Structures are given as structure tokens and as C-alpha cells.
Structure 1
């Protein structure tokens, strides 16, 4: 993970979505490796489909490394206010999947992480009364 330096993603709403959050984002990540975790400090731009201007975006994800799983947390509001998302467990040699969904109000978040030769693909799925979202993240080295 420490050699990764950039990210991109495509967000697509499904037929059950009332959100319509279709667009593309990209930027750089600073990867900080600590004893038992890795943090991704993301900064970049997001462009909503049909718009001619982009907006700045920032995220911080913490990957806690365990012998049998990787726990993913969101630290956008700081480490002290981290939101534990889910544990990713092995599905096969190159793939980790969320062991359980992360429930945020009425919305259920799940993910699939795939190790690829030049980085990581992280597919998010968000389903709820108003949401039917798919976000395909690509983390890559230079």
C-alpha cells in the first residue's frame, strides 16, 4: 500500500436511486504507514455528470491490518471521530469482501477490494430507501 500515490473513481446511481450522484473524481493520496495500520489521506476533485466545473474533495481512510482481516474506518472528521465501516475478509487470494454491511441510518454500505498488479480496486455499494449507488475506486502507484 505505501507505494500508492493516486486515486480515481466513478460514481454511478442505479435505477432505485433518488440521489443521482453520477460523476468522476480523481486526485492524490498520501499514504502513511504506522505500526498496525495504513492511512490514506485523499485530496482531489469531483465533477458531477453534466456539470462543467469540479469541486474539491478530501477523505481520510484508515486500514487496520490484522492477521485474518483488514478493518476499514473513515477519519474525515479526525482520528478521534473515526467511523468504523467494516471488516474486509478474504474471498480468494486477490479479493477481500466486507464481512457485514455497515449500516448508516437506513443505508447499507458494503465493499469488495481486489488486488491488481498496479494497485487496488475498491468497489463500494450503497443501498437504502433513496440510494442505489455504486462507486468504483482505483488506487494506483505513479
Structure 2
């Protein structure tokens, strides 16, 4: 492991505890059968644990993009969301898991490794997370006041792009 990669992992670890809000934009591509384009915003409670991991408990609202109706008025209402993500720093990567249904039902998503050949990202998922036939990948990029986490999801019914802004 090189010194620069270690420094980036330490930078991310330090940054995680300062996060208090999230905004995101989801965009369904041409191959999507989900139609979950929209935007969301919420609060993040960052909590450090004795094992050195950190959880993000996210709560907020998601507003699906308006679908055209004959009257031209949208009936879309904001939907509440709740997520729990666990971040674990290791010597060569940062592991990300989803714990929305509890610690005992945690779903490992992927290991984020320092990007060596990406110009616009600081971390990339080492491998895609497979959920059925769907492949989840992510990139993480530091910003002046936090970081952006971009997800792409591809599969037979999914063609999604999610851009999270953690501040």
C-alpha cells in the first residue's frame, strides 16, 4: 500500500464523522423499468462505534419527478426514506454495508479502494455488488466540504444513476 492511498483512507475516515446532511438526485436511464427519477434530501446522524466503524443513519424525503398527467398537474408527493450505512476502514480499502433492516441483516455492498487511474474520483468500488442480476458500482470524490458518492446500477430491469452529496 502506498503512502498516498493510506492518506486518502485516513482522509475519508476523518471526513465521515463530520457529515450531517445528504442531498441526492436519482436518474433512470433508457433501460430502466423502475422510473425512480427524482431528488431527495435529509439529515445524517454519524455515529462512531467501539469496533472503529461508523454508521450513517439517514432520514429525509424523496420527491419523485412529476409524471405528465392530462391536467398538467402532478400528484407526486414526497416519500420518506430511512437508510443506515456502515463504513469500516481497513488498511487497503473502506467497506460499505447497508443496515436498513438492522445489524443482523446487514448487506455488504462493496469495498471502496483508492482510485489509481480515475481522474475524477478518489475511490472506486473494487468489484460490482451483485443483487440478483443487477450490478451496483460506486465512485467517491472528495469535495471542499464533504464528498460525493455516485452509484450506477445496471441489470435487466435497471439502468439507474444516483448522485449523493454528503456535507
Taking structure 2 as the reference length, the TM-score comes to 0.81
User: What TM-score, normalized to structure 1?
Assistant: 0.94
SS in 2 for 1:130: coil
Counterpart in 2 of 1:38?
A: 54
Compare 84-93 and 106-115 and name the one that shifted more.
84-93
* SS of equivalent to 1:4: coil
For residue 124 of structure 2, what is the aligned residue in structure 1? 97
Partners of 2:161 and 2:99 in 1: CA distance: 21
SS at match of 1:3: coil
Per-residue Cα deviation, 1:19-76 (whole angstroms, up to 9, x for no partner)? 1110001000000012421100000000110054101100000001111100000000
C-alpha distance after superposition, 1:76-101 (max 9, x if no partner): 00011100011000004961100000
Give the structure 1 partner of residue 63 of structure 2: 47
Per the alignment, residue 11 of structure 1 pairs with 26
| Larger Rg belongs to | 2
Richer in helix (by share)? 2
TM-fit CA distance, 1:121: 0.2
2:134 maps to which residue?
107
Consecutive unaligned residues in structure 1, runs of 5 or more: none
- The equivalent residue for 1:126 is 153
Deviation at 1:117, TM superposition (A): 1.3
Aligned-residue Cα RMSD (Å) equals 1.3
C-alpha separation in 2, matches of 1:70 and 1:60: 16
Which of the pair is proportionally richer in strand?
Answer: 1
Unaligned runs of 5+ in 2: 1-15, 67-74
